Structure 1
Amino acid sequence: MSQNNQSILDVAAIRAQAKKHVDDGAVSSGYQGDREKIIQMLNEALATEWVCVLRYMRHYFTATGIHNESIKAEFLEHAQQEQEHASRIAERIVQLNGEPDLDPATLVTRSHAEYDTSADIKDMIRANLIAERIAVESYRQMIAIIGDTDPTTRQMLTEIMAVEEEHADEMSDLLGL
């Protein structure tokens, strides 16, 4: 068998496009997504994640009672995971040559989920379950809208959605206590 050293891809064209559009950063000439629309959706998701971080942290700090220590720990863990999601989303926005919108003055209005000031532990859990369900559906719809036009963003959102589904499942289990 002889080894063919010729690439199936048009490497010369790929190299030329990469050099010509170097200012586009990670966005290659073959990118098919509607960048502005995707960045807008990602900024809404970013706002949602930060509102979720704040809600979980508030619940972590205000949940009282000796029997609620494990629930408080769950709230803290979820807050940290939501912050990781926010970081991933912000990084992707930058990769797409956008700017992450972290303006605290408009965070709540851009968020799909709501902030919650419940004092009762069951109400806190319920609010978090509702927010997780909202996040899951929002991500599902974003993934559908993006389709095959931006596989990197789609994969990131799919991974985040899986964690949100786990959070919803955990909150649902806690409500059964």
Structure 2
Amino acid sequence: MTQLPSKENLVKPAADLAILSDIKTLRAHARKDIEEGAVTSGYAADRKVVIKLLNEALATELVCVLRYKRHHFMAKGIHSESIKAEFLQHANEEMAHADLLAKRITELGGEPDFSPDGLSQRSHAEYVAGDTLNTMIKEDLIAERIAIESYREMIAYLADADPTTQKLLKEILAMEEEHAEDLASLMSNIKPEMPNLVM
């Protein structure tokens, strides 16, 4: 049977409570700059930098959607059907990431940049068409690895300054790591000499 913590263990020492605001202060802070929406005076990150990073992540996700969609439609060959399904699933998941990032940008008072002008320059990952199943999988895996490193760096940069954005990025990072594992597994199952040319 699990032991519940004693009442004494649930009470925080006074030193730990010093960081908490009293009710009057909380209410006063909430009334300031109400046009800022979710961004209160306690927001510790540089909002402009965070919005810029999130727009770069948004561009990366959009480029990945486009690349996965192309790969889904262009993959041909005896081994392509299950791989096409994987490409489509990844495209849909990357689009969901883009939507989450755009939503967070607006919550921070920014504007999500969906403009196609400069999309590939804002994206951390490249758009590489690929002409065989092998090269498609390889390029998608490289893009996922770029996204993984990018998200890890953003998470580290945010530290405790923006826990909501950090949580979102950690969730997306977990999915990107899953995508990379899927692609690495696919790559090991497709041999270069097999007929997998795109027609």
| TM-score, normalised with respect to structure 2 | 0.84
**Secondary structure of 2:138 counterpart:** helix
76, 90, 102: which is aligned to 1:64?
76
CA distance in 2, matches of 1:148, 1:67: 46
CA distance in 2, matches of 1:89, 1:151: 14
* Residue number in structure 2 paired with 1:81: 93
Alignment partner of 1:111 is 2:123: yes
Q: Shift in Å at residue 119 of structure 1?
A: 1.6
Counterparts of 1:100-139 in structure 2, within 5 Å, are 100-139=112-151
CA RMSD of superposed structures (Å): 0.9
Alignment partner of 1:37 is 2:49: yes
CA distance in 2, matches of 1:168, 1:114: 16
Alignment partner of 1:157 is 2:153: no
* Larger CA Rg, structure 1 vs 2: 2
Q: Shift in Å at residue 14 of structure 1?
A: 1.0
> Structure 1: which amino acid aligns with 2:135?
D
* Per-residue Cα deviation, 1:81-126 (whole angstroms, up to 9, x for no partner): 0000000000000000011111101100100000011120000000
CA distance in 1, matches of 2:21, 2:109: 27
8, 14, 18: which is aligned to 2:26?
14
CA distance in 1, matches of 2:188, 2:130: 18
Q: Shift in Å at residue 67 of structure 1?
A: 2.3
Give aligned-pair identity as a percent.
Answer: 56
CA distance in 1, matches of 2:25, 2:164: 22
| TM-score, normalised with respect to structure 1 | 0.94
CA distance in 2, matches of 1:66, 1:126: 18
* Residue number in structure 1 paired with 2:192: none
Q: Shift in Å at residue 66 of structure 1?
A: 3.9
Alignment partner of 1:148 is 2:164: no
CA distance in 1, matches of 2:62, 2:166: 20
28, 41, 48: which is aligned to 2:60?
48
CA distance in 2, matches of 1:149, 1:62: 43
Q: Shift in Å at residue 64 of structure 1?
A: 0.9
Q: Shift in Å at residue 65 of structure 1?
A: 2.1
Q: Shift in Å at residue 13 of structure 1?
A: 1.2
Structure 1 unaligned runs (5+)?
1-7
CA distance in 2, matches of 1:20, 1:176: 57
Q: Shift in Å at residue 11 of structure 1?
A: 1.2
**Secondary structure of 1:176 counterpart:** helix
18, 36, 40: which is aligned to 1:28?
40
**Secondary structure of 2:79 counterpart:** helix
CA distance in 2, matches of 1:123, 1:80: 21
Q: Shift in Å at residue 9 of structure 1?
A: 4.3
* Per-residue Cα deviation, 1:111-145 (whole angstroms, up to 9, x for no partner): 00000111200000000000000000000001111
